[in-house]
Amino acid sequence: MKLLVGLGNPGAKYAQNRHNIGFMAMDRIATDHGFTPWRSKFQGQIAEGRFGSTKVTLLKPETFMNLSGQSVGEVMRYLKLQPDNIIVFHDEIDLAPGKVRLKTGGGHAGHNGLRSIHGHIGPDYDRVRLGVGHPGHKDAVPGYVLRDFPKADQEWLDDEMRGISDGIADLIGGDGPKFLNAIALRVAPPRSSKATSQAKAEKPASKPAEALSDDRSPLQKLVDRFR
Protein backbone atom coordinates (compact mmCIF):
# COMPACT_ATOMS: atom_id res chain seq x y z
CA MET A 1 0.00 0.00 0.00
CA LYS A 2 1.08 3.57 -0.71
CA LEU A 3 0.00 6.87 0.78
CA LEU A 4 0.33 9.88 -1.52
CA VAL A 5 0.16 13.22 0.27
CA GLY A 6 -0.37 16.52 -1.50
CA LEU A 7 0.47 19.59 0.58
CA GLY A 8 -1.55 22.80 0.54
CA ASN A 9 -4.05 24.89 2.46
CA PRO A 10 -7.80 24.15 2.54
CA GLY A 11 -10.43 26.48 1.12
CA ALA A 12 -11.19 28.26 -2.15
CA LYS A 13 -9.07 31.25 -1.11
CA TYR A 14 -5.90 29.17 -1.42
CA ALA A 15 -6.90 26.76 -4.21
CA GLN A 16 -4.74 28.31 -6.96
CA ASN A 17 -1.80 29.34 -4.74
CA ARG A 18 1.70 28.13 -5.57
CA HIS A 19 1.70 26.54 -2.09
CA ASN A 20 -1.21 24.32 -3.20
CA ILE A 21 0.46 22.60 -6.11
CA GLY A 22 0.49 19.37 -4.07
CA PHE A 23 -3.31 19.50 -3.74
CA MET A 24 -3.55 20.08 -7.50
CA ALA A 25 -1.52 16.93 -8.18
CA MET A 26 -3.77 14.83 -5.92
CA ASP A 27 -6.91 16.15 -7.61
CA ARG A 28 -5.55 15.31 -11.05
CA ILE A 29 -4.55 11.78 -10.07
CA ALA A 30 -7.93 11.13 -8.43
CA THR A 31 -9.88 12.40 -11.45
CA ASP A 32 -7.86 10.67 -14.15
CA HIS A 33 -7.55 7.27 -12.45
CA GLY A 34 -11.06 6.67 -11.12
CA PHE A 35 -10.42 7.07 -7.41
CA THR A 36 -13.31 7.18 -4.94
CA PRO A 37 -14.91 10.57 -4.23
CA TRP A 38 -13.07 12.69 -1.68
CA ARG A 39 -14.29 12.29 1.90
CA SER A 40 -13.33 13.88 5.20
CA LYS A 41 -11.21 11.73 7.50
CA PHE A 42 -7.96 11.94 9.48
CA GLN A 43 -8.08 15.75 9.57
CA GLY A 44 -8.00 15.83 5.80
CA GLN A 45 -9.63 14.72 2.57
CA ILE A 46 -8.89 11.20 1.34
CA ALA A 47 -9.62 9.26 -1.85
CA GLU A 48 -8.80 5.62 -2.54
CA GLY A 49 -7.85 3.68 -5.62
CA ARG A 50 -5.50 1.09 -7.01
CA PHE A 51 -2.64 0.80 -9.49
CA GLY A 52 -2.36 -2.85 -10.46
CA SER A 53 -2.13 -4.83 -7.24
CA THR A 54 -1.11 -1.82 -5.13
CA LYS A 55 -3.74 -0.05 -3.05
CA VAL A 56 -3.22 3.70 -2.94
CA THR A 57 -4.68 6.34 -0.62
CA LEU A 58 -4.52 10.01 -1.56
CA LEU A 59 -4.48 12.60 1.23
CA LYS A 60 -4.96 16.36 1.26
CA PRO A 61 -4.41 17.50 4.87
CA GLU A 62 -6.90 20.15 6.01
CA THR A 63 -4.94 21.24 9.07
CA PHE A 64 -3.30 24.09 7.12
CA MET A 65 0.24 23.72 5.89
CA ASN A 66 2.06 24.25 9.17
CA LEU A 67 0.28 21.32 10.84
CA SER A 68 0.24 18.86 7.91
CA GLY A 69 2.10 16.24 9.94
CA GLN A 70 -0.86 15.72 12.26
CA SER A 71 -3.01 14.42 9.41
CA VAL A 72 -0.22 12.42 7.78
CA GLY A 73 0.67 10.77 11.11
CA GLU A 74 -2.95 9.75 11.72
CA VAL A 75 -3.31 8.08 8.34
CA MET A 76 0.05 6.35 8.61
CA ARG A 77 -0.81 4.84 11.98
CA TYR A 78 -4.32 3.81 10.90
CA LEU A 79 -3.07 2.08 7.75
CA LYS A 80 -0.05 0.65 9.61
CA LEU A 81 2.40 2.11 7.11
CA GLN A 82 6.09 2.89 7.38
CA PRO A 83 7.57 6.23 6.23
CA ASP A 84 8.97 4.55 3.10
CA ASN A 85 5.37 3.84 2.01
CA ILE A 86 4.65 7.57 1.88
CA ILE A 87 5.23 9.99 -1.02
CA VAL A 88 4.71 13.71 -0.36
CA PHE A 89 4.09 16.16 -3.22
CA HIS A 90 5.04 19.74 -2.36
CA ASP A 91 6.01 23.12 -3.81
CA GLU A 92 9.75 23.76 -4.13
CA ILE A 93 11.05 27.32 -4.43
CA ASP A 94 14.60 26.13 -5.16
CA LEU A 95 13.51 24.66 -8.49
CA ALA A 96 12.44 26.61 -11.57
CA PRO A 97 8.75 26.50 -12.53
CA GLY A 98 7.96 23.28 -14.38
CA LYS A 99 10.95 21.38 -12.98
CA VAL A 100 10.29 18.24 -10.91
CA ARG A 101 12.74 16.29 -8.80
CA LEU A 102 12.52 13.24 -6.52
CA LYS A 103 14.11 12.98 -3.10
CA THR A 104 14.14 10.48 -0.25
CA GLY A 105 14.87 11.60 3.29
CA GLY A 106 16.98 14.60 4.19
CA GLY A 107 16.05 17.97 5.65
CA HIS A 108 12.93 20.05 5.21
CA ALA A 109 14.80 23.15 3.89
CA GLY A 110 12.50 25.46 5.82
CA HIS A 111 9.29 24.20 4.20
CA ASN A 112 6.68 24.40 6.97
CA GLY A 113 4.64 21.47 5.71
CA LEU A 114 7.67 19.20 5.55
CA ARG A 115 8.87 20.46 8.93
CA SER A 116 5.56 19.38 10.46
CA ILE A 117 5.70 15.96 8.78
CA HIS A 118 9.27 15.49 10.01
CA GLY A 119 8.05 16.14 13.53
CA HIS A 120 5.36 13.46 13.32
CA ILE A 121 6.86 10.64 11.24
CA GLY A 122 10.54 11.50 10.82
CA PRO A 123 12.39 12.39 7.59
CA ASP A 124 12.54 8.99 5.88
CA TYR A 125 9.74 9.40 3.36
CA ASP A 126 9.82 10.11 -0.38
CA ARG A 127 9.14 13.55 -1.81
CA VAL A 128 8.13 14.86 -5.22
CA ARG A 129 9.54 18.39 -5.38
CA LEU A 130 7.44 20.55 -7.70
CA GLY A 131 9.31 23.68 -8.77
CA VAL A 132 7.50 27.01 -8.47
CA GLY A 133 10.50 29.35 -8.69
CA HIS A 134 11.96 31.79 -6.16
CA PRO A 135 10.91 35.43 -5.67
CA GLY A 136 14.54 36.51 -5.35
CA HIS A 137 14.71 37.30 -1.64
CA LYS A 138 13.93 35.05 1.31
CA ASP A 139 11.75 37.71 2.98
CA ALA A 140 9.43 37.64 -0.05
CA VAL A 141 8.91 33.85 0.04
CA PRO A 142 5.78 33.71 2.30
CA GLY A 143 3.84 36.17 0.15
CA TYR A 144 5.10 34.58 -3.05
CA VAL A 145 3.95 31.02 -2.30
CA LEU A 146 0.60 32.27 -1.00
CA ARG A 147 -0.20 34.04 -4.28
CA ASP A 148 -1.98 32.39 -7.20
CA PHE A 149 -0.09 31.09 -10.20
CA PRO A 150 -0.21 33.82 -12.87
CA LYS A 151 -2.02 33.18 -16.14
CA ALA A 152 1.33 32.90 -17.89
CA ASP A 153 2.07 29.75 -15.85
CA GLN A 154 -1.15 27.93 -16.63
CA GLU A 155 0.11 26.14 -19.74
CA TRP A 156 3.16 24.51 -18.16
CA LEU A 157 1.23 23.85 -14.94
CA ASP A 158 -1.47 21.94 -16.80
CA ASP A 159 1.17 20.02 -18.77
CA GLU A 160 2.94 19.13 -15.52
CA MET A 161 -0.26 17.84 -13.93
CA ARG A 162 -0.96 15.74 -17.02
CA GLY A 163 2.58 14.35 -16.87
CA ILE A 164 2.22 13.46 -13.18
CA SER A 165 -0.98 11.62 -13.99
CA ASP A 166 0.67 9.85 -16.97
CA GLY A 167 3.58 8.62 -14.89
CA ILE A 168 2.08 8.05 -11.45
CA ALA A 169 1.76 4.28 -11.90
CA ASP A 170 5.50 4.15 -12.61
CA LEU A 171 6.27 6.12 -9.45
CA ILE A 172 4.06 3.78 -7.41
CA GLY A 173 5.91 0.87 -8.96
CA GLY A 174 9.28 2.29 -7.94
CA ASP A 175 10.44 3.59 -11.32
CA GLY A 176 11.25 7.22 -10.55
CA PRO A 177 13.13 7.97 -13.80
CA LYS A 178 10.20 6.77 -15.91
CA PHE A 179 7.84 8.96 -13.85
CA LEU A 180 10.04 12.01 -14.43
CA ASN A 181 10.29 11.20 -18.12
CA ALA A 182 6.49 11.14 -18.41
CA ILE A 183 6.40 14.67 -17.00
CA ALA A 184 9.20 15.86 -19.28
CA LEU A 185 7.36 14.55 -22.33
CA ARG A 186 4.41 16.77 -21.43
CA VAL A 187 6.26 19.89 -20.28
CA ALA A 188 9.02 19.87 -22.92
CA PRO A 189 8.15 17.38 -25.68
CA PRO A 190 11.02 16.60 -28.05
CA ARG A 191 10.84 18.00 -31.56
CA SER A 192 10.49 15.24 -34.14
CA SER A 193 13.32 14.81 -36.64
CA LYS A 194 10.73 15.10 -39.42
CA ALA A 195 9.62 18.51 -38.19
CA THR A 196 13.21 19.64 -37.88
CA SER A 197 14.01 18.48 -41.42
CA GLN A 198 10.90 20.18 -42.76
CA ALA A 199 11.84 23.43 -41.05
CA LYS A 200 15.28 23.27 -42.64
CA ALA A 201 13.76 22.54 -46.05
CA GLU A 202 11.37 25.47 -45.76
CA LYS A 203 14.11 27.88 -44.74
CA PRO A 204 14.79 30.15 -47.72
CA ALA A 205 18.21 29.78 -49.22
CA SER A 206 20.43 32.76 -48.73
CA LYS A 207 21.00 34.84 -51.83
CA PRO A 208 24.56 35.07 -53.10
CA ALA A 209 26.08 38.42 -52.50
CA GLU A 210 26.10 40.57 -55.58
CA ALA A 211 29.56 41.10 -57.06
CA LEU A 212 30.93 44.55 -56.28
CA SER A 213 31.69 46.65 -59.32
CA ASP A 214 35.38 47.47 -59.69
CA ASP A 215 36.15 50.52 -61.78
CA ARG A 216 39.72 51.01 -60.55
CA SER A 217 42.45 51.53 -63.10
CA PRO A 218 45.13 48.80 -63.55
CA LEU A 219 47.64 51.08 -61.81
CA GLN A 220 45.32 51.65 -58.84
CA LYS A 221 44.72 47.91 -58.52
CA LEU A 222 48.47 47.31 -58.40
CA VAL A 223 48.96 49.99 -55.75
CA ASP A 224 46.10 48.59 -53.64
CA ARG A 225 47.51 45.10 -53.89
CA PHE A 226 50.76 46.07 -52.16
CA ARG A 227 49.27 48.21 -49.43
Active site residues: 19
- Secondary structure (H, E, C), the chain: CEEEEECCCCCHHHCCEHHHHHHHHHHHHHHHCCCCCCEEECCEEEEEEEECCEEEEEEEECCCHHHHHHHHHHHHHHHCCCHHHEEEEEEECCCCCCCEEEEECCCCCCCHHHHHHHHHHCCCCEEEEEECCCCCCHHHHHHHHCCECCHHHHHHHHHHHHHHHHHHHHHHCCCHHHHHHHHHHHHCCCCCHHHHHHHHHHCCCCCCCCCCCCCCCHHHHHHHHCC
